[in-house]
Amino acid sequence: MRLDLSWIDYLIMIIYFLFVLGIGWFLRKYMKNANAFLEAGRSIPAWVAGLAFISTNLGALEVMGMTGSGMKYGMLTTHFYWIGAIPAMIFLALFMMPFYYGSKARSVPEFLKLRYDEKTRGLNAILFAIMTILASGISMYALAILMEKVLGWDFNMSLWVSALIVLGYTYLGGLSSAIYNEVLQFFIIVIGLLPLVFLSLKDVGGWSGLKESLAPIVSGNGYAADTWTTTWKYTSEASGNPLGVEWFGILFGLGFVLSFGYWCTNFLIVQRAFAAESKSAARKVPLIGAIPKMFIPFLIIVPGIIAIVLFNDPGKGFTLPLDAAGKPIYDYTIIMLLKQYLPAGVLGLGITALLASFMSGMAGNVSAFNTVWTYDIYQSYIRKRTGNEEADGKHYLTVGRFATVAGVLLSIAAAYIAGKFGNIMDFLQTIFSMINAPLFSVIFLGMFWKRTTGHAAFTGLLSGFLMALLHHGLTVPAGATTLVKGGWIANLHTYPVEMAQNFWTAIIAFTVATLVTVGLTLLTRQQKSDEELHGLVYSLTPRTLAEEGPWYQRPVGLAIIVGVICVVLSILFW
Amino acid sequence: MVDIRIPIGLMFSILGVLITIFGFVTMSDAEMYQKSLNINVNIIMGILMLVFGVIMLFFSWRKKKA
């Protein structure tokens, strides 16, 4: 399974590295204070921030995982894109961005401080900081192990080199550098993976040839012959499709709770819109990002589906590495496909695309971590602002730079821990993924119900998180071999697949958080005056949304275009 | 600040030229291109990248002029 690269492939990679670091180098002279470094001076054009928005989300684990899921679940994986992202992105753009951006908050935790109180911010800031480091460590580990197994690169070397390059450009140019590079990385990911899509599709005889070759394989697994090339058709029952979830679970669990939790409250993503040059630009950022997002499935999921056909045809010579239990490691699908189809030259481009996806994800984590650390932890609890703006700006810039270095070093440490105690890291990541659903509930109630109080929000956030934990401790997915997957308290219920368990964990976290927040709001007194909530709550914010330009350049016009394309795609692949 | 289209345009132009030349140099190597279904993907992708790079640079240049 070894893949040998030639000099041209390395040369392509080196040119890419030079450009990535060069962008950081050019931007370094603009980094005069914390505002420029951590918020990109709120000066980024909408299209740049929009592509960065989607590029941050297109990390290495996303690319590797979604291609693997394409193999495991077929076109059903597109639920993570069409129903599981687009509605939430439209909602974020039209209804939430005006309050996020208008509040002048520099981070999501800071919005919680402005809208609610210090303790709500503190809870969220600390959980978020830990989660970001974990996520970046885990993806760094996954990348280094992939490079070791397939390319034969030394594990330590790929870990440190890739981390140091990300550190280099984020340290030099801060958020601006992360965002600019994400745009470059977005194009390299698309162009690098493009030949793979065309060649693999051509190899199996196009879309209709793919359907034909899939039919016997899929039927052999006990599903209807076209299950892998349809999305909603077999979701009337959980057992009819490989996701193991019925339409309600997909619609409410994935399409509402999980996706709104992720897209509307995850600072890592939302930060790109915060950096936009105006409120109108900030509203357009998620919508501009949504356009490529809808088509990414064709780039990474479709090759994954083709991989099943190759895998089942011995004549193709396509293999996947096996894990200790003898099962194929689905996450390796993408790199094995690159090996299958790409000759030297474009192969280097494909590997560079994988490295770029890793870097865009990691830079996103690092630049969100240093902002939350500097503004929400350091500035609130360690050294408050002195009032001298210039001196403060310099001081927090230094702190932000240190946080960048510390964030990268902590991620490297997390990557080594993931290598030694992979199960513990998986477990921690599962736990921390539970903070998003309650957070969405609390932020949503805060924006649209002026009565919502700080005490209620804090308790709602905490109890949603704890109930999710409890649910995870009491249920298991079928076939789980370790307590990491759940059931570490008792086993009260067995889900057919892990996906179903995740969906329900999120649904419970969201429901509990909402009920507790609403209930306690009715029992507690609002500490904030209407004056303080101006610009943070819908009913207390004057509507001055006079957008300029032709209709298709306005947020609502763009949202309609995005919505229509998404519906058309869903119908085409129903 | 800096127009991001300049580094993107430059990088894709350089990579495009490089990969196109590599594609022409290896054109006779039938064994190498067996993988890619006997298509010289290097020439195709190289030209595509060069065109993309030049378009990026053109837009950046046009904006600067205006």
Which of A39-43, A110-114, A226-230 has the highest mean predicted lDDT (pLDDT)? Answer: A110-114
Whole-number pLDDT of residue A93: 93
More confident residue, A351 or A535: A351
List of chain A residues whose C-beta atoms are within 8 Å of the C-beta of residue B5? none
Q: Which residues have CB under 8 Å from A349's CB, separation 6+?
A: A12, A188, A191, A192, A195, A342, B15, B19, B45
Under the banding of pLDDT at 50, 70 and 90, the label for residue A198 is very high
pLDDT of A223 > 90? The answer is no
Percent of chain A with pLDDT over 70: 99
Strand, helix or coil at A328? strand
Whole-number pLDDT of residue A384: 85
Say how far residue A42 (Cα) sits from the centre of its chain: 22
Percent of chain A with pLDDT over 90: 52
pLDDT of A546 > 70? The answer is no
Over the stretch A116-152, which tens digit does the pLDDT of each residue have? 999 999 999 999 999 899 888 988 898 888 888 888 8
List of chain B residues whose C-beta atoms are within 8 Å of the C-beta of residue A8? 18-19, 22
Over the stretch A260-278, which tens digit does the pLDDT of each residue have? 999 999 999 999 999 999 8
Tokens of A546: 């006079």
Sign of the dihedral defined by the CA atoms of residues A215, A218, A223, A226, in that order: negative
Query: DSSP label at A103?
Result: T
Whole-number pLDDT of residue A109: 94
pLDDT of A430 > 80? The answer is no
More confident residue, A499 or A133: A133
Question: Mean per-residue pLDDT for A237-259?
Answer: 84
Question: Mean per-residue pLDDT for A421-427?
Answer: 73
Tokens of B30: 């039938």
Burial of B34 (0-12, 13-18, 19+ CB in 10 A): exposed
Whole-number pLDDT of residue A1: 59
Nearest to B37 among A180, A199, A345 (CB): A199
Q: How far is the C-alpha of A89 from the C-alpha of A12, rounded, in Å?
A: 34
Q: Are A196 and A337 in contact (CB under 8 A)?
A: yes
Which of A180-189, A219-228, A317-326, A539-548 has the highest mean predicted lDDT (pLDDT)? Answer: A180-189
Over the stretch A27-67, which tens digit does the pLDDT of each residue have? 999 998 988 899 888 889 999 999 999 999 998 888 988 99
Helix (H) or strand (E) holding A367, with range, is helix A346-371
Q: Are A166 and A182 in contact (CB under 8 A)?
A: no
List of chain B residues whose C-beta atoms are within 8 Å of the C-beta of residue A180? 2, 4, 7
pLDDT of A205 > 80? The answer is yes
DSSP A16-67: HHHHHHHHHHHHGGG--SHHHHHHGGG-B-HHHHHHHHHHHHS-HHHHHHHH
Strand, helix or coil at A221? coil
Which amino acid makes up residue A512? V
Nearest to B42 among A48, A194, A345 (CB): A345
List of chain A residues whose C-beta atoms are within 8 Å of the C-beta of residue B18? 8, 11-12, 15
Three-state SS letters, A446-496: HHHCCCCCHHHHHHHHHHHHHHHHHHHHHEEECCCCCHHHCCCCCCCEEEC
Whole-number pLDDT of residue A498: 78
- Are residues A195 and B22, on separate chains, in Cβ contact within 8 Å? no
